[in-house]
Amino acid sequence: MPRVIELIDEDAASLAEACDGLAAVGVDFDDPERLDNAARWLRRLGNNKQFLGDLLIAALAQRHREDVLDSSYGPQVVMLAPPNGNFFIRANLWPSTDEHMLRASGGTSFVYGLPHDHNFSFLTLGYFGPGYWSDYYEYDYGEVVGARDEPVPSLRFVERSRLEEGKLMLYRAHRDVHAQHPADSLSVSLNIMHTTGAQGWLDQYRFDLDKRQIGAIVSGGPSEALMRIAVGLGGDQALDLAERFAHHHPSDRMRLACWDALAGMATDAASRDAVWQRAELSGSRLVAAEALARRCELFA
Ligand SMILES: [Fe+2]
């Protein structure tokens, strides 16, 4: 499960001070000194019980007509410090079952009950309220390729616990899995997210806990959609690029998207099967597994 960090620091920091303190040495959770620095600034920011309320009131008063289009997050997430160097800071709101928004929108709108890992490491701190509940698991990222229904023998339950106020934890990318459940009453957590240039190409999975299988890759990016559109429009260059990416792109997810796009252009089941036969032999374990499944579906 995420590593609990015992760090006592009574100082309180403003958001600007925390950002400056993080930027001064950079964020890298694999480096013990930078991890300690980031944890310390998150602790200090968490000790400041005024800043988030002030920020939310100011946003409501002054920015209510602005479109919030600069992140892919929904209203559950408040971006506190946008991506800057290799980190950003956010606050997450965790409604309880007593909250109207949860009853109206359902738990899936708040990622409740969705077992998942993360394709990034991040620090989290219980800031307000009793904290969301989580069932924590761990698995070995290296043993899977990310195909749907792929067995994950290493997936194992660790414990159920909640992110109580003041609890500070490091979620480890591609290792910690959790299924979250509603907080007992409205809660807020603060996160420092570590970002890297490669992150968009690293996969995040949804899991089927009962079957101990991969559910699906949930971290699709815009490049896959653009490829599908370009191939669908039928241009020679798009088809050529899809063929090359299908065989050589560093991301298996992108390779699969290319094969999907190419198969989508086939006009009948036999020619679609021919595309997936080529895909099976293209040198990617993910593509081979998905190609086999697609072929089975074709003739089911
Ligand atoms: Fe999560």
Predicted confidence (pLDDT) per residue in 220-230, tens digit = 788 999 999 99
Going by pLDDT thresholds of 50, 70 and 90, the confidence category of residue 217 is very high
**What's the pLDDT at 300?**
78
Euclidean distance between the first and final Cα of the chain, in Å?
40
Q: 273 and 175 share a domain?
A: no
- Show the tokens assigned to 36: 């300690």
Q: Are residues 206 and 251 in the same domain?
A: no
Residue type, 87: F
Domain shared by 259 and 278, yes or no: yes
At residue 58, the 3 state secondary structure works out as helix
Q: Looking at 217, 232, 261, which one is the last position of a domain?
A: 217
Same domain? 171 vs 34: yes
Number of structural domains (the chain) is 2
What is the model's pLDDT at position 263? 96
Q: Which two tokens stand for residue 45?
A: 């920011």
Ligand 1 centre to CA of 240 (Å) is 38
With 80 as the cut, is the pLDDT of residue 82 above it? Answer: yes
> Last residue of a domain, which of 217, 244, 278?
217
Q: How far is the CA of 117 from the centre of ligand 1 (A)?
A: 6
What is the DSSP-derived secondary structure letter of residue 187?
A: E
- The per-residue pLDDT for range 21-37, each reduced to its tens digit, is 999 999 999 999 999 99
Residue 112 alpha carbon to ligand 1 centre in Å: 9
DSSP-based three-state secondary structure for 9: coil
Mean pLDDT value across residues 243-259? 96
Are 25 and 141 in a shared domain?
yes
What pLDDT is stored for residue 66 in this prediction? Answer: 60
CB 160 within 8 A of CB 134: yes
Token representation of residue 299:
């003739």
Residues 174 and 247 in one domain: no
**Cα 235 to averaged position of ligand 1 atoms, centre (Å):** 39
Residues 99 and 150 in one domain: yes
Does 174 lie in the same domain as 26? yes
The fraction of the chain above a pLDDT of 90, given in percent, is: 81
| Domain CATH code at residue 94 | 2.60.120.10
Domain that holds residue 40: 3-217
pLDDT of 126-161, one tens digit each? Answer: 999 999 999 999 999 999 999 999 999 999 999 999
CA–centroid distance, 179 to ligand 1, in Å, is: 8
pLDDT band of 83, cuts 50, 70, 90 = confident
Distance between Cα 178 and ligand 1 center (Å): 6
Whole-number Å distance, alpha carbon 202 to ligand 1 midpoint, is 15
CA of 176 to the centre of ligand 1 (A): 9
Residues 155 and 191 in one domain: yes
Rounded distance, CA 23 to CA 9, Å? 19
What is the distance in A from the centroid of ligand 1 to the CA of 118?
6
Task: Report the alpha-carbon distance of residue 37 to residue 21 in Å, rounded.
Answer: 8
* Distance from Cα 23 to the centre of ligand 1, integer Å: 24
Q: Are residues 213 and 237 in the same domain?
A: no
**Measured in angstroms, how far is the CA atom of residue 173 from the centroid of ligand 1?**
10
The mean predicted confidence, pLDDT, of the chain is: 93
pLDDT-derived band at 73, boundaries 50, 70, 90: low
- What average pLDDT does this structure show over 46-64? 88
Can you tell me the distance from the alpha carbon of 2 to that of 137, in angstroms, rounded to the nearest whole number? 9
CA of 229 to the centre of ligand 1 (A): 30
Q: Quick one: 38 and 89 in the same domain? A: yes
- CA 33 to ligand 1 centroid distance, Å: 25
How far apart are the CA of 239 and the centre of ligand 1, in A? 37
Measure 116 CA to ligand 1 centroid, in angstroms: 6
Q: Are residues 247 and 207 in the same domain?
A: no
Burial track 227-250 (b if 16+ CB lie within 10 A, e otherwise)? bbebbeeeeeebbebbeebbbebe
How distant is the alpha carbon of residue 150 from its chain centre?
19
Which of 177, 196, 217 delimits the end of a domain? Answer: 217
